[in-house]
Structure 1
């Protein structure tokens, strides 16, 4: 399975962990279409993955929401405030 260029390795690894094998590729393709505005792409992608909690339907909803307002995707994921880099590292591991 190839990983879209815009999805970082640690986010892709979490997708493969959270989603069933037959859904992971689709989840990665959908994730790559999320609107990230001028924000850190990995932050928004991580928020989508956390919001989805392993459910492809929820991932699609979060991606659609990102097209309305990417900031709404961050809400409730722990990535909405200034300490988001620490949350990202805790949830997805260190940058490799």
Structure 2
């Protein structure tokens, strides 16, 4: 599953504007489920991918640490990114914009 054209991709391109950075971030996110070797569907979810991007705050080092955390325990990642509670869809809308603009 690729994030191309999604609200998450727009956020990645905004947060990682250096040439080649956004495509590399997208590549790493796309490879994460297979690299981790477990919880593949969860690691493909927008929620987990967004948690990584939000924790990174545009810093590639922080991004890599967030990816490592996701590989070890994606639940801790969600806690750190404040996406573990029931209001996580609202937080994603706030951070990324509405899932379906104009809907």
TM-score, normalised relative to structure 2: 0.78
Q: Which runs of 5+ in 2 are unaligned?
A: none
- CA RMSD of superposed structures (Å): 1.9
Alpha-carbon spacing, 1:64–1:76, altered in 2? closer, same or farther (3 Å) = closer
- Residue 78 of structure 1 deviates from its aligned partner by 2.1
Q: Which runs of 5+ in 1 are unaligned?
A: none
Alignment of 1:5-84 (within 5 A): 5-7=1-3, 9-22=6-19, 23-35=21-33, 37=39, 38-39=41-42, 41-84=45-88
Higher helix content, 1 or 2:
2
TM-score, normalised relative to structure 1: 0.83
Q: Which has the greater radius of gyration?
A: 2
